[in-house]
Amino acid sequence: MKKWFMIGCIFLLAFMIVNNPLSTVYITSMKEDSVLVTKSYDPLYDEIESKANDFKVEASDAKIDQIWKALPGYNGMEVDVKASYDKMKKDGKFDENKLIFKQITPNIHLEDLPPSPIYKGHPDKPMVSFIINVAWGNEYLSSMLATLKKHHVSATFFLEGRWAQKNPELAKMIYDAGHEIGNHSYTHPDMKNISNEKTRQEIIKTNEVIKATTGSQPTWFAPPSGSYRDATVEIAAQENLRTIMWSVDTIDWQKPAPSVLINRVMSKVHNGAIILMHPTASTEQSLDQLITQIKAKNLEIGTVSELLSENRVLNQRSSKAPEKIK
């Protein structure tokens, strides 16, 4: 009985080794009371594993910066050894262009930070975001939306609640076009100089109007004219909104010539830029060329939520190999 038990255990062990997808297994001999197995790992698998650290990028934690306030984290990446091996094993040789990466999440996330305004995305993320504050300028919206659609660009529109209530069709049109909707207060007051109670009313009422007109629930708040105090940010956070500022300003309300506006943005644009604009003639006339030039710098354009997410941009390259991540 003991003999057959031992034989069964040995056969089970042999079965497990033979079915190990990461090894090449050879059974060299078999006897009645024993099975002699030798196992040899594919050198290619070992090579991928040994080189994996050369391509690893550590995740970056979200943090509070003295100048830029809240900065989001950014996923790192590491080689998925098995997936890379599966892609290379047919050719039987190491090819860094066939490396497959997986993302590594940070330890500290944006939601772990205390309430603080956000001026830009992570400096390693090759993406920018247009924030378009809307309290007027209806005549320019359709053209701007058409340009954004032409370039397959999604922006974040911050709607004044009073405007959305008066223009529900336009508010819905913006949302239905695939853009993100944010809160821009109800009556466009100077948030720095109003009471806590009035601040909360402005935020809550706008949320209610946006929800009623578009069906979406805002998660971002842009104080009018960028004016706020600490209590403004804290109250917005209590209403589940993070406060958004900007790092590049078109100053389009001054009605600059398109060439001036484009040069102003392109001279300051950077990884993680939040670019402030409004529905004006200057922005309408500049938008097509602005998008083209930003994309020519290998910068993607996305919503605030996309910009501030920890996800890596898919076409971003590591220092040595194309980034193919999952």
**Best CA proximity match to 49, nearest among 81, 22, 95:** 81
Least confident of 12-16, 105-109, 128-132, 241-245: 12-16
- 3-class SS of residue 312: coil
pLDDT (mean) for 172-177: 98
Q: What is the pLDDT of residue 157?
A: 98
Give me the pLDDT at residue 10, please: 53
The share of the chain scoring above pLDDT 90, in percent, equals 82
Summarised one tens digit per residue, pLDDT across range 285-299 is 999 999 999 999 999
Question: 3-state DSSP call for residue 99?
Answer: coil
Q: Average per-residue pLDDT in the chain?
A: 89
Average pLDDT of the residues in 104-125: 98
Between the CA of residue 103 and those of 59, 75, 98, 126, 321, what are the distances in Å?
Answer: 8, 6, 16, 16, 15
pLDDT in tens, 8-35: 555 555 555 444 544 443 333 444 444 4
Q: Which of 205, 262, 196 is nearest to 234 (CA)?
A: 196
pLDDT at 320 over 80: no
∠ CA 301-306-307, nearest 5°, is: 65
Three-state SS string over 114-161 comes to CCCCECCCCCCCCEEEEEEEECCCHHHHHHHHHHHHHCCCCCEEEECH
pTM reported for the whole predicted model: 0.84
Nearest alpha-carbon partner for 71 in 245, 318, 290, 225: 245
Confidence class for position 122, pLDDT limits 50, 70, 90:
very high
Burial of 23 (0-12, 13-18, 19+ CB in 10 A): middle
Where would I find the H helices in the chain?
2-18, 43-51, 81-88, 138-150, 161-166, 168-176, 196-214, 230-238, 258-266, 281-296, 304-308
Instruction: Give the chain's domains with CATH numbers.
Output: 2-41 (no CATH), 48-109 (no CATH), 115-308 (3.20.20.370)
Binned at pLDDT 50, 70 and 90, residue 313 comes out as confident
More confident residue, 32 or 75: 75
Q: Residue 21: its pLDDT value, please?
A: 47
Residue 322 has pLDDT above 80, yes or no: no
Q: Give 53's contacts (C-beta < 8 A, 6+ positions apart).
A: none
What is residue 42's predicted lDDT score, i.e. its pLDDT? 85
Distance CA 303, CA 150 (A): 16
Residue whose entry in the numeric block shows the structure tokens 């956070």: 237
Rounded to an integer, the average pLDDT of 48-71 is: 96
Using one digit for the tens of pLDDT, what is the confidence trace for 31-42? Answer: 444 444 444 568
* Dist CA 287 CA 277 (whole Å): 10
What pLDDT is recorded for position 191?
A: 98
Using alpha carbons, list the distances in angstroms from residue 55 to 51, 77, 106, 181: 7, 8, 17, 38
